[in-house]
Homo-oligomer: A and B are copies of this chain.
Amino acid sequence: MTGVLYGVGVGPGAPDLITLRAARLIEGAAVIAYPTLAGAASFARAIAADLIAPDAQEIVMDVPMSVERAPAQAAYDKGAAAIAVALDAGHDVVCLCEGDPFFYGSFMYLFARLSDRYRVEVVPGVTSVTACAARAGLPLAARNERLTVLPGPLPEDELRARIEGAESVVIMKVGRHLPKIRAVIETLGLTSQAVYVERATLPEEVVLPLARAPESAPYFSMILLTKGADPWL
């Protein structure tokens, strides 16, 4: 009997925003897996740390920092091969994913490599999008409103065009792109409707009007733009 690969969303950061299903799978896992970036600690592993059995085998896929795609591809090839060995030995493997596995997550690279040969189950998680809205006290979308999710690294012109035609907007992966994004929002006259959120649901969380956001932002930061629909109904 080969094992099952579980892609498990561990939510936005607070350990108790893990789902009951994810917690049960992580607690019972003899083998866990997760990617790291250029040797840095894994955020997903930190979120789930208290649930991981002390004797669990850990498959770490270290992805090098590079604009080229080949080195990362090789890291996922190697990780997929190590996971396949565990699955072939009859072990289930629980892959830890920040937020949700299929929402800007690297789990899709393992899914692409392994789902044709093994049973793969994806356990959805709470995304940083709704976590940031909860912490900012800002309803994201209601009734027939549209919601647009944009990655911060998009070129300035494209960001401007996409924000201009939108209703509620979430800008992910702000990080070093903050000055560019801030300028676009300022040009569109929307700064007063923009909220900056950093490390939502963690003790070091920051929630500020964009006008008062810091000069430099970490990777795990987001900007919410809501156009102030009447929330009374």
Q: With an 8 A cutoff between CB atoms, is A1 at the interface?
A: no
* Chain B binder among A86-94, A137-145, A179-187, A214-222: A137-145
Q: With an 8 A cutoff between CB atoms, is A154 at the interface?
A: yes
Query: Which of B115, B122, B137 contacts A111, CB < 8 Å?
Result: B137
Q: With an 8 A cutoff between CB atoms, is A59 at the interface?
A: no
Q: How far, in whole Å, are A12 and B19 apart by their CA atoms in the complex?
A: 12
Q: With an 8 A cutoff between CB atoms, is A65 at the interface?
A: no
Query: Which of B12, B127, B165, B201 contacts A130, CB < 8 Å?
Result: B127
Q: How far, in whole Å, are A104 and B167 apart by their CA atoms in the complex?
A: 13
Query: Which of B9, B113, B137, B141 contacts A149, CB < 8 Å?
Result: B141
In contact, A233 and B76 (Cβ under 8 angstroms): yes
Q: How large is the interface on A (under 10, 10 to 19, 20 to 34, 35 or more residues)?
A: 35 or more
Given contacts A18-B20, A231-B109, are A151 and B140 in contact (CB under 8 A)? no
Given contacts A17-B20, A151-B145, are A123 and B134 in contact (CB under 8 A)? yes
In contact, B115 and A124 (Cβ under 8 angstroms): no
Could you give, for residues 207-233 of chain A, a 1 whenever the CB lies within 8 Å of some chain B CB and a 0 otherwise?
000000000000000000000000111
Within 8 A of B (CB), among A115-150: 115, 120, 122-127, 130-131, 133-135, 137-150
Q: How far, in whole Å, are A100 and B134 apart by their CA atoms in the complex?
A: 9
In contact, A19 and B126 (Cβ under 8 angstroms): yes
In contact, B134 and A124 (Cβ under 8 angstroms): yes
* A interface residues (Cβ-Cβ under 8 A, vs B): 9, 11-12, 14-21, 23-24, 69, 72-73, 76, 100-105, 107-109, 111-113, 115, 120, 122-127, 130-131, 133-135, 137-151, 153-154, 162, 165, 201, 231-233
Q: A103-B140, A120-B137 are in contact. List 13 more A-B contacts (CB 8 A).
A: A11-B19, A17-B123, A69-B233, A102-B138, A103-B141, A103-B147, A105-B142, A108-B142, A111-B137, A113-B232, A124-B131, A126-B126, A143-B151
Instruction: Offer 21 A-B interface pairs, CB within 8 angstroms, sorted by A.
Output: A11-B19, A16-B24, A18-B19, A72-B233, A73-B233, A102-B133, A102-B134, A104-B143, A105-B139, A122-B137, A124-B130, A124-B131, A126-B126, A127-B130, A143-B151, A144-B151, A144-B153, A145-B151, A146-B162, A147-B149, A148-B148
